[in-house]
């Protein structure tokens, strides 16, 4: 019998950097949405091609993996979409790919999973992102939940309806009133509109050719969901579809949307070798499980866990990109950490209530915006991207600003 191989020498983790991120304009889901007759896989293919176009210094054969998330992995979002999208985008056939599903945190998980591979030394460069065509594939399409989930009372039936879980968060925290949520939502719309006017939102967008049997060919160049000029008074009169006399409305929650995002990640040493830009440096991340009935609180323990693991406190964080699935979920986070509803460090350019939330793609939108904000803020060292996740989870990623000036 052969002697066992000697254990590998201990290896140090490599620094992982976010190089760049792009996204399609986000559309409204449904038969009148801009992407109603556009395939989901074509959206993510467009994103991959744009990343390669913007970075000719990255030889396509140096991409070691393509990870693409989708919540509803059927139809044109199925068939191991990371691999098929890589082939359709023209990457060499030697470049592998895979699909990811962690519902809303799909793209976030695509990033953290492949980033871990980079840190370990399995990859040098990866492309990670997500796509969701909620018009073609509504969340839950084709699924068959085990009846024991409800019959054995593993979760309350409301846990399977995200809007009802948001109402449950309201119940648990009475201080999170509808009025506060409507005010937060109006500010999100205003901040996003201001960011578009100032050119902060736009450079990361990839124009997408669209087609319509009725209208012919078109070109999507801007987000479809935003409603600039939204007022608190207008929001106050909206219906509460998840509960009579409830608090969650179409105005203080993200809509149903279509869109794709993608980014390039690399080992810092490889980025410098190839001349790739370094947008931000990964510090660490954490995912947690919470009661599915109140999944909106997920970012709270996820952030606590991430901060504790990497020796930081909430006061060290200079910028927050929090996914706005529901206003109440963001406010629960802010209240827990003692931050004001209008804290200027939070969602500086608005959020998903304005621009949309195509489920699995949203994590990389948060990262792309944070990276671009870092470039403007050398006074900020750390930022986080965080989101709640369906079926009771939360995810938080901590990033370091490579432009930090040392607090000068």
Q: Are the CB atoms for 181 and 247 separated by under 8 Å?
A: yes
Please report the DSSP string for 184-240 in residue order: HHHHHHHHHHHHHHTTSSSTTB--EEEEETTTEEEEE-S-SS--TT--HHHHHTS--
* Look-up of token digits 């009935």: 293
- Structure tokens given for 290: 């919470």
Residue 297 is given by DSSP the state G
Q: Is 104 marked active-site?
A: yes
Q: Indicate which residue of 55, 104, 170, 245 is catalytic.
A: 104
10 Å CB burial of residue 78 (0-12, 13-18, 19+) is middle
Q: At 134, which helix (H) or strand (E)? A: none
- Bridging pattern class, strands 65-69 and 125-133: parallel
Q: Are the CB atoms for 222 and 377 separated by under 8 Å?
A: no
Closest listed residue to residue 112, CA positions, set 138, 94, 130: 130
Q: Indicate which residue of 133, 137, 170, 357 is catalytic.
A: 357
Q: Are the CB atoms for 311 and 49 separated by under 8 Å?
A: no
Q: Is 388 marked active-site?
A: yes
Closest listed residue to residue 405, CA positions, set 379, 383, 377, 371: 379
Q: Is 181 marked active-site?
A: no
Active site residues: 104, 357, 388
């Amino acid at each position: 019998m052969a002697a066992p191989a000697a254990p590998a020498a201990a290896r140090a983790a490599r620094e992982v950097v976010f190089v760049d991120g792009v996204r399609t304009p986000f559309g409204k889901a449904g038969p009148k949405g801009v992407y109603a007759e556009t395939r989901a896989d074509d959206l993510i293919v467009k994103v991959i091609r744009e990343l390669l176009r913007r970075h000719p210094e990255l030889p396509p054969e140096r991409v070691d993996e393509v990870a693409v998330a989708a919540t509803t992995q059927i139809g044109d979002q199925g068939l191991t979409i990371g691999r098929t999208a890589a082939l359709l985008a023209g990457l060499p056939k030697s470049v592998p790919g895979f699909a990811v599903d962690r519902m809303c945190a799909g793209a976030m998980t695509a990033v953290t999973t492949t980033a871990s591979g980079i840190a370990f030394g399995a990859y040098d460069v990866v492309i990670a992102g997500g796509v969701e065509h909620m018009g073609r594939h509504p969340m839950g399409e084709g699924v068959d939940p085990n009846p024991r989930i409800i019959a054995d009372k593993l979760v309350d039936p409301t846990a399977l309806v995200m809007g009802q879980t948001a109402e449950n968060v309201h119940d648990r925290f009475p201080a999170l009133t509808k009025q506060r949520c409507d005010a937060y939502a109006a500010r999100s719309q205003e901040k996003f509109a201001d960011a578009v006017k100032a050119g902060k939102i736009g450079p990361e967008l990839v124009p997408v050719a669209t087609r319509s049997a009725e209208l012919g060919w078109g070109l999507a160049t801007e987000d479809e969901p935003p409603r600039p000029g939204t007022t608190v008074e207008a929001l106050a009169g909206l219906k509460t579809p998840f509960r009579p006399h409830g608090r969650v409305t179409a105005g203080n929650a993200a809509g149903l949307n279509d869109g794709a995002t993608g980014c390039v990640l690399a080992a810092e040493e490889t980025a410098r070798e190839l001349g790739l830009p370094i947008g931000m440096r990964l510090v660490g991340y954490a995912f947690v499980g919470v009661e599915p009935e109140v999944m909106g609180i997920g970012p709270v323990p996820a952030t606590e866990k991430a901060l504790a693991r990497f020796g930081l406190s909430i006061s060290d964080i200079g910028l927050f990109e929090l996914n706005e699935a529901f206003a109440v979920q963001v406010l629960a986070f802010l209240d827990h950490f003692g931050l004001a509803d209008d804290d200027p460090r939070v969602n500086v350019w608005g959020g998903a209530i304005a621009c949309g939330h195509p489920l699995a793609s949203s994590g990389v939108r948060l990262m792309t915006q944070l990276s671009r904000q870092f470039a403007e803020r050398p006074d900020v060292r750390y930022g986080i991207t965080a989101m709640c996740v369906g079926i009771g989870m939360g995810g938080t990623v901590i990033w370091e600003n490579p432009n930090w000036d040392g607090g000068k």
